Amino acid sequence: MLKRPFTRMLARLDGWADRLYGWKWNPLYQSGAIAVLCLAVMLVTGIYLLFFYRIGAPHESIVRIDAQPLGGRWIRSLHRYAADLAVAAAVVHALRMFFQGRSWGPRALAWVSGVFLLFLLYVCGWTGYVMVWDVQGQLLATEGARLLDALPIFSEPVSRTFAGADPLPSAFFFMNLFLHIAIPVGLVIFLWLHVSRVARPVLLPPRPLLWATVGLLAAAAVLLPAPVAQAANLLRIPAEVPLDLFYAFWLPWLRNTPAPAAWLAGTLLVAVLATVPILARPRKDRRPAPSVVSTRLCTACHQCEADCPYDAIRMVERTDGRGGMVAWVNPSHCVSCGICAGSCAPMGVGPPGRTGRDQLARVRDFVAGDAFRAGAIVVVACGRSGGAERGPSNARRASPDSDRAGEGPARFEVSCAGNLHTSVVEYLVRAGARGVLVVACPPRDCSGREGPKWLVERLYHEREAELKARVDRRRVHVAHASAFDPRSVDRALGEFADELARLESPAGEDAIRIDTDCEVPEGAGGDDAGAGPHGPPGVVSRLLPSALFRRWPAGAGRTKAGSE
């Protein structure tokens, strides 16, 4: 009930961030990878801090680190701010997964291990603050002990350790330090589990975003270093506490809450989070069916196995007497993203209703219908992207004339850009479409993970099932636009129409150098890396890595790259 407005709100945020940072560097799409990056920063800075930390005099050792002339304060602050950003990034990442409907079915393992990851991150943070043994650490320790005492498992009140009657045993700080070091090991194990169901997990953001994030953290650590708070004193109740809201937001609430009520609230929260894969699961009749292989059509080329972003396809021995191998889809791993349908040249695999054959049947009807006009641009859009007909950005724009091209393009939708079979594009071009603009989600925001990536490879990089050489690629472009980013689609349409006009003008052939290799000059592609179509040649080609074009002499006969 609340999901729709939140989904719209997040999609709108994506749209704004896309406009500002461009889809390649939009940090919202990289929140999981940013969380991993923060863990890495914490690990490196943590090892440095460990050399100077003393169990026997915790707070004094922190004060000494802070006073180091060689930037101990900066490294401590970097460690802390990375820990804060890790929580923020993990929460954004979890929210995205939830609102994109990526929390159930075969993703349940990723979801539940994600909840554990977040929990471990919290415990690691709490032990970190207790290590400092400042006033916040004192409150975390005493409140934590109060909660533990509500459980009927200890023979003595744990809180008595912090009564102040006796000095704190150094065994306590040793245990705490041990936990603070051991939990990251658990984090790594859970991270492995977390991504174990996805093929080729992207664990770090692209390099410019990586260095920008590290740079920002470092700048904050140098310009706004975290001060060392007052030392803990068990015989004083802390009065002025600098609270880290990322890790200790609950302290003010907990102070006035009886321990059983706190346990109840915490258990409820964890239970709700852990059961999201069941609670958020659509009704049985609305769940998309897993992919199915037609053993009659499968030629055992391995391509779907290589492309599946969830490692859901394996090659197995045939049992129908024909000998050799055949693809097999593990239904409990398949998320029904449909990407395998786009991989299969003989159209032998895909979720029911979305295989290459189903798409061809649909595009035939589409071309025969009213929407299609020969000589006009056709938009082939992922149903989740800004190009979708019923998508939030276009549903509001009643007049098709609002498109800059003035052509009110007909739209043909697919469930994911990676689901699109290249023969659909060929069919449209051969049916007389002036050009085909494929609108995909930003690659790192694809709910099937790798749809836009494989699409571009199939269209321009000869990845199986590639767009055939006989199709004029100058009439096929790809644009990336998130659901609330119709402007990118408009701009891409405009640029594409201009390109086509140049192509169709008598001087067009010269203007776009079709008889030369489409090499991209070094350094190109930086300025407007944000939105816009891509696909050689022209303005848009600047957005793609040059490696994509070098092996593609236009018009020349091409050899198949085959499966990877």
Partner 1 sequence: MNAANWLKRTGAAALAAGAMVVIVFMSQVPWLGPGSEGSELRVSWRMPAPSLRHCRPPTEAELEGVPGHMRPGEICNEETVPFGLIVLIDGDTLHAGPAWHPGRRARTLAVYERFPLPAGSHALEVSFVPDSPRVDAASPQMDSVQALATTLSARVVAAPGDVVLVTRNDNGRLVMPPTGPGPP
Applying CB under 8 A, the residues found at the interface with partner 1 are 19-21, 27, 59, 80-81, 84-85, 88, 135, 139, 155-157, 159-160, 163-168, 212, 216-217, 219-220, 224, 226-227, 231-246, 251-252, 255, 527-528
- Contact indicator for 350, 419 with CB cutoff of 8 Å: yes
Query: Between 29 and 48, how does the x/- string for binding to ligand HEM read (CB under 6 A)?
Result: ---xx-xx------------
- Contact indicator for 428, 520 with CB cutoff of 8 Å: no
- Contact indicator for 322, 116 with CB cutoff of 8 Å: no
- Beta strands 325-329 and 476-480 are unpaired
Stretch of 117-125, 211-219, 241-249, 253-261 lying at the interface with ligand HEM (CB under 6 A) = 117-125
* Distances, alpha carbon 75 to alpha carbons 3, 57, 84, in Å: 40, 20, 14
Question: Rounded to an integer, what distance in angstroms lies between the CA atom of residue 117 and that of residue 83?
Answer: 13
Give the nearest distance from C-beta 210 to ligand SF4 in angstroms. Answer: 28
- How many residues of this chain interact with ligand HEM, rule: CB under 6 A? 26
Question: Rounded to an integer, what distance in angstroms lies between the CA atom of residue 332 and that of residue 108?
Answer: 11
Binder to ligand SF4 among 100, 159, 275, 299 (CB under 6 A)?
299
Q: Which does 303 bind (CB under 5 to 8 A by kind): ligand SF4, ligand HEM, partner 1, none?
A: ligand SF4
514 binding ligand HEM? (CB under 6 A): no
Give the nearest distance from C-beta 342 to ligand SF4 in angstroms. Answer: 9
Please, which residue, 224 or 561, has the CB nearer to partner 1?
A: 224
- Coil vs helix vs strand at 483: coil
Which amino acid, one-letter code, is at 66?
Answer: D
Name the phi and psi angles at 479, rounded to 5: -125, 150
Q: Which does 456 bind (CB under 5 to 8 A by kind): ligand SF4, partner 1, ligand HEM, none?
A: none
Q: Which does 338 bind (CB under 5 to 8 A by kind): partner 1, ligand SF4, ligand HEM, none?
A: ligand SF4
128 binding ligand HEM? (CB under 6 A): no
- Beta strands 533-534 and 476-480 are antiparallel
Q: Which does 160 bind (CB under 5 to 8 A by kind): ligand SF4, ligand HEM, partner 1, none?
A: partner 1
- Contact indicator for 440, 417 with CB cutoff of 8 Å: yes
Give Cα 170 to chain centroid, integer Å.
Answer: 43
Within residues 309-348, the interface with ligand SF4 by CB under 6 A covers 310, 312-313, 327, 329, 334-340, 343-344, 346, 348
Stretch of 93-101, 124-132, 134-142, 522-530 lying at the interface with ligand HEM (CB under 6 A) = 93-101
Give the nearest distance from C-beta 444 to partner 1 in angstroms. Answer: 17
Give the nearest distance from C-beta 249 to partner 1 in angstroms. Answer: 9
- Contact indicator for 11, 441 with CB cutoff of 8 Å: no
Q: Which of 437, 462, 455, 458 is nearest to 550 (CA)?
A: 462
442 binding ligand HEM? (CB under 6 A): no
Q: Could you tell me the two tokens for 24?
A: 């390649």
Which amino acid, one-letter code, is at 227?
Answer: P
- Coil vs helix vs strand at 3: helix
Question: Rounded to an integer, what distance in angstroms lies between the CA atom of residue 289 and that of residue 280?
Answer: 17
Give Cα 100 to chain centroid, integer Å.
Answer: 11
Give the nearest distance from C-beta 263 to ligand HEM in angstroms. Answer: 21
Give the nearest distance from C-beta 36 to ligand SF4 in angstroms. Answer: 23
> Which residue has the closest beta carbon to ligand HEM?
114
Q: Which does 164 bind (CB under 5 to 8 A by kind): ligand HEM, ligand SF4, partner 1, none?
A: partner 1
Please, which residue, 308 or 326, has the CB nearer to ligand HEM?
A: 308
Give Cα 24 to chain centroid, integer Å.
Answer: 12
Give the nearest distance from C-beta 9 to partner 1 in angstroms. Answer: 17
> Hey, what long-range contacts does 524-528 have (CB within 8 A, 24 or more apart)?
528/22
Q: Which does 243 bind (CB under 5 to 8 A by kind): ligand HEM, partner 1, ligand SF4, none?
A: partner 1
Binder to ligand SF4 among 15, 225, 351, 533 (CB under 6 A)?
351
416 binding ligand SF4? (CB under 6 A): no
Integer-rounded Cα radius of gyration of the chain: 28
Question: Rounded to an integer, what distance in angstroms lies between the CA atom of residue 73 and that of residue 62?
Answer: 9
Give the nearest distance from C-beta 106 to ligand HEM in angstroms. Answer: 8
Question: Rounded to an integer, what distance in angstroms lies between the CA atom of residue 276 and that of residue 521?
Answer: 49
449 binding ligand HEM? (CB under 6 A): yes
241 binding ligand HEM? (CB under 6 A): no
Give the DSSP letter string of 372-418: --TTSEEEEEETTSTT-TTSHHHHT---GGGSTTSS--EEEEES-GG
- How many residues of this chain interact with ligand SF4, rule: CB under 6 A? 29
Give the nearest distance from C-beta 278 to ligand HEM in angstroms. Answer: 14
Query: Between 242 and 261, how does the x/- string for binding to ligand HEM read (CB under 6 A)?
Result: --------------------
Binder to ligand HEM among 23, 74, 81, 111 (CB under 6 A)?
111
Question: Rounded to an integer, what distance in angstroms lies between the CA atom of residue 224 and that of residue 247?
Answer: 19
Please, which residue, 188 or 561, has the CB nearer to ligand SF4?
A: 561
Instruction: Centre a 10 Å sphere on the Cβ of residue 302 and count the other Cβ atoms it contains.
Output: 17
Give Cα 235 to chain centroid, integer Å.
Answer: 48
Give the DSSP letter string of 314-375: EEEE--SSS-SEEEEE-TTT-----HHHHH-TT--EESTT-SHHHHHHHHHHHHHSSS--TT
Instruction: Centre a 10 Å sphere on the Cβ of residue 542 and count the other Cβ atoms it contains.
Output: 20
Which amino acid, one-letter code, is at 301?
Answer: C
198 binding ligand SF4? (CB under 6 A): no
108 binding ligand SF4? (CB under 6 A): no
Q: Which residues bind ligand SF4 (CB under 6 A)?
A: 290-291, 293, 298-304, 308, 310, 312-313, 327, 329, 334-340, 343-344, 346, 348-349, 351
Q: Which residues bind ligand HEM (CB under 6 A)?
A: 32-33, 35-36, 90, 93-94, 97, 102-103, 107, 110-111, 114-115, 117-118, 121, 191, 194-195, 198, 201-203, 449
